[in-house]
Amino acid sequence: MRNLAKTPVGILCAAGVFVFSTATGAAGEPPASFPSTMPAPASQRVLRFADGVTIDWTTRALRVDGSIVLREGPLEFLACFAGKEHESIVRLHASGTSIFMALGLLGLAPGHPPRWSDDERSFAPPDGELIDIAFEWDAGRSRANAFSWLREVEYGREPLPRPWVFAGSKRSEDATLLCDRSGVGVALVDFSDSLICLTRSHVSRDEELWADAHTAAIPPLKTPVTMVIRAARPLKHEVTVDFRGVAFVDGRFASTADLIDVIQLQRKLDPQRVQTVTFEGTLRSDRAALLGTLSAAGLKVETREQGNKETRRQ
């Protein structure tokens, strides 16, 4: 089978027509993708798109081959390409370009990785379609959410699950993706050439890395795994604030940054839904401070006092 992902300007495949445009836009910008609107024929419901990349049209999922290369220690990546194996749990056996184009075929549009401007001293968070990531191994008999393989260094627990961002990396002068050179795949910290990343900013300094590998949850080294990517689904969260003014999401402590991130992601997936925040004997000053912080982040919420079903829009 011809490797379709090696055609940089245009692709015509059994799944429909798909164009990966590398001829427009400046170098350093994410390339544009134009997904097909043509359904795959019944005989092509599972398409081997490129080396290590399979599209499952039935479940609208992208499946990427990989293997376990790290099970302990601090992390900069959940999954990487060649060159970053010492900082990542999974080494992907596919190119970033192939993953990029296959996600486009599934109708997912790239955005951009985190951006810094030294001149303006400004930071732009990553943007792009939101996706969910899981891993399968043992011939599909075992499955795990990506966050279950991580542990927050500060709290020693699994991070709050949330969608990832299809940032799309950047294009180099020769129209290839920078992530294929740097090895930056699914990043846990801020990299300007991330293919996939988190919305919340995390620094990449070794002494400040926020995530460790959760050794007990990760399969043995060299285990073949499949990274499964789908369009993110909206999640409903229960947000409470106790008498100390401490916030909890789904019963777990949440920093202010995490609380804002979770609500912003939920709003992006379901713009009509307004998050309810339940206050449990919270001091009026703490209540006002939290609502002010959320308002400054552009977030409107409904409030409820414990034991009272009435809600108020804030």
266 touches 163 (CB < 8 A): no
Banded model confidence at residue 202, pLDDT cuts 50, 70, 90: confident
pLDDT for residue 24:
39
Banded model confidence at residue 311, pLDDT cuts 50, 70, 90: low
CA distance 90 to 16: 31
pLDDT in tens, 14-72: 333 334 443 334 555 555 554 444 455 555 699 999 999 999 999 999 999 999 999 99
| pLDDT for residue 181 is more than 60 | yes
CA distance 43 to 27: 38
Neighbours of 65 (CB within 10 A): 17
Question: What's the average model confidence in pLDDT over 208-235?
Answer: 96
Name the burial class of residue 77, with classes exposed (0-12), middle (13-18) and buried (19+) by CB atoms within 10 angstroms of its CB.
buried
Provide CB contacts within 8 A for 172, sequence distance 6+.
Answer: 27, 28, 178, 181
Banded model confidence at residue 95, pLDDT cuts 50, 70, 90: very high
Alpha-carbon dihedral of residues 182, 49, 143, 59, nearest 10 degrees?
A: 130
Name the burial class of residue 253, with classes exposed (0-12), middle (13-18) and buried (19+) by CB atoms within 10 angstroms of its CB.
middle
Distances (CA, A) of 293 to 73, 154, 162, 170, 290: 34, 23, 21, 33, 5
Neighbours of 35 (CB within 10 A): 17
Phi–psi pair at 205, nearest 5 degrees = -65, 135
CA distance 270 to 274: 9
Provide CB contacts within 8 A for 184, sequence distance 6+.
Answer: 77, 80, 81, 84, 169, 178, 191, 193, 194, 195
Banded model confidence at residue 169, pLDDT cuts 50, 70, 90: very high
SS3 248: strand
pTM of the model: 0.85
Nearest to 77 by CA among 92, 98, 59: 92
